[in-house]
Chains A and B, each alone.
Chain A
Amino acid sequence: MESDSFRRKLSAYKDGELDGNLSEAVSLHLQNCASCRKELADFEQVDSLIKEMPKLDAAECFTLQVIAGISRTERDPLDLGSFSKRVLAKILQLAESFLELFADSEHEENTLDEFSDFPPLSISHAYFQLLGEQG
């Protein structure tokens, strides 16, 4: 095994993840290779620095907040509250747009005369004439 191959096994060797034979071979190599010994020592230093990295402590109320979160989810498993609100808002928006069609048009001002342009002698023409007489 080449020196570089041993070097690549140093991390797993350090973690105790090599099988017995390979681990023994790396141990033997380390006895004769100063640069691998240095690298292994550096890996150990890197690990100690990681262990000394700043730590966070969970807030006192952490567990309570999680439990409260579960209660909220169970009351409304699919968050139907906000879902129905969103659907309702869409319906209202559509209804509003629909009403605006009429509100903006000039049809508000129109009278029945607008509909009385049926061909003479047609039933509709006669009907509108009757309506006009009644009005």
Chain B
Amino acid sequence: MNDPAGRGSSFSKTESDYELIKAVGAGDVVAFEMLIERYRDPVLNFIFKYTGDKFGAEDIAQEVFLRIYQSASEFEPRGKVSTWIFKIAYNLSVNEVLRRRRFTVIAGFDEHEAEPQTPNDTALKDLAQEAMNTIRRLPEKQRAALLLRVNDDLSYAEISNVLSTSISGVESLLFRARENLRKLLIRETKE
């Protein structure tokens, strides 16, 4: 790890993602810090909402940035940096969900169910919390597609890249995700 630009780096906050990732690939830690600052909240929240695990989300997010640093020099400028970052976050989140599922099968224990509720949770808006619980019941690709679209504003082409599926596949995933959520939320509101 080096810091060729020094702490008085020539990078500004408006530097393009591509310039930053190029510098990160060359080992520039200041550029890397800027990239982390730019993406840590979207990445952390995508992982949190996808896995539903607020305690594990930060560990996975850190792992995402480690992977970014390690493979920045291999980044191909054909796609957007943000899409590439979300692809790494998605892949690691899928691994975590699979790991947790295996653990649940083997140990008959759901780590997630055991999470204590913090006082702040109870203060959250009921309906938004309900949406959080409901979205966890969506099939995984539908959930990922919906989060990437609604929270992170990715286009269908970008989502198709992250999920390694076709654009028409994304269209179908998003339609079904919204349909399912609509049914679940409306049913629960009526009950």
A residues neighboring B (CB under 8 Å) = 8, 10-12, 15, 17, 39, 42-43, 45-47, 49-59, 62-63, 65-67, 69-71, 73-74
| B66, A42: Cβ atoms closer than 8 Å | no
- B105 close to A (CB within 8 Å): no
Alpha-carbon separation in the docked complex, A49 to B127 (Å): 7
Q: Which of B1, B33, B156 contacts A63 (CB 8 A)?
A: B33
Given contacts A43-B178, A63-B36, contact A69 B66 (CB under 8 A): yes
- A–B complex contacts, Cβ < 8 Å, 6 sampled: A15-B174, A46-B178, A53-B49, A54-B129, A58-B40, A71-B1
Which applies to chain B's interface (DSSP): helix, strand, loop or mixed?
helix
**Chain B, interface residues (CB within 8 Å), range:** 35 or more
Alpha-carbon separation in the docked complex, A115 to B33 (Å): 74
- B54 close to A (CB within 8 Å): yes
Alpha-carbon separation in the docked complex, A63 to B33 (Å): 7
Which applies to chain A's interface (DSSP): helix, strand, loop or mixed?
helix
| B156, A12: Cβ atoms closer than 8 Å | yes
B residues neighboring A (CB under 8 Å) = 1, 29, 32-33, 36-37, 40-41, 44-45, 48-49, 54, 57-58, 61-62, 65-66, 69-70, 121, 124-125, 127-132, 135, 146-147, 149-151, 155-156, 171, 174-175, 178, 181-182, 185-186
Alpha-carbon separation in the docked complex, A71 to B163 (Å): 31
| A56, B54: Cβ atoms closer than 8 Å | yes
| B182, A12: Cβ atoms closer than 8 Å | no
B65, closest chain A residue (CB)? A66
Q: Which of A8, A47, A54, A70 contacts B1 (CB 8 A)?
A: A70
> Which residues of A sit under 8 angstroms from B127, Cβ to Cβ?
49, 52
> Which residues of B sit under 8 angstroms from A56, Cβ to Cβ?
41, 44-45, 48, 54, 57-58
Alpha-carbon separation in the docked complex, A43 to B65 (Å): 33
Alpha-carbon separation in the docked complex, A43 to B186 (Å): 11
Q: Which of B37, B125, B147, B171 contacts A50 (CB 8 A)?
A: B147
Q: Which of A17, A58, A70, A74 contacts B61 (CB 8 A)?
A: A58
Alpha-carbon separation in the docked complex, A58 to B131 (Å): 22
| A58, B185: Cβ atoms closer than 8 Å | no
Q: Which of A47, A49, A51, A62 contacts B40 (CB 8 A)?
A: A62
Alpha-carbon separation in the docked complex, A65 to B59 (Å): 10
> Which residues of A sit under 8 angstroms from B62, Cβ to Cβ?
62, 65-66, 69
A42, closest chain B residue (CB)? B182
| B40, A63: Cβ atoms closer than 8 Å | yes
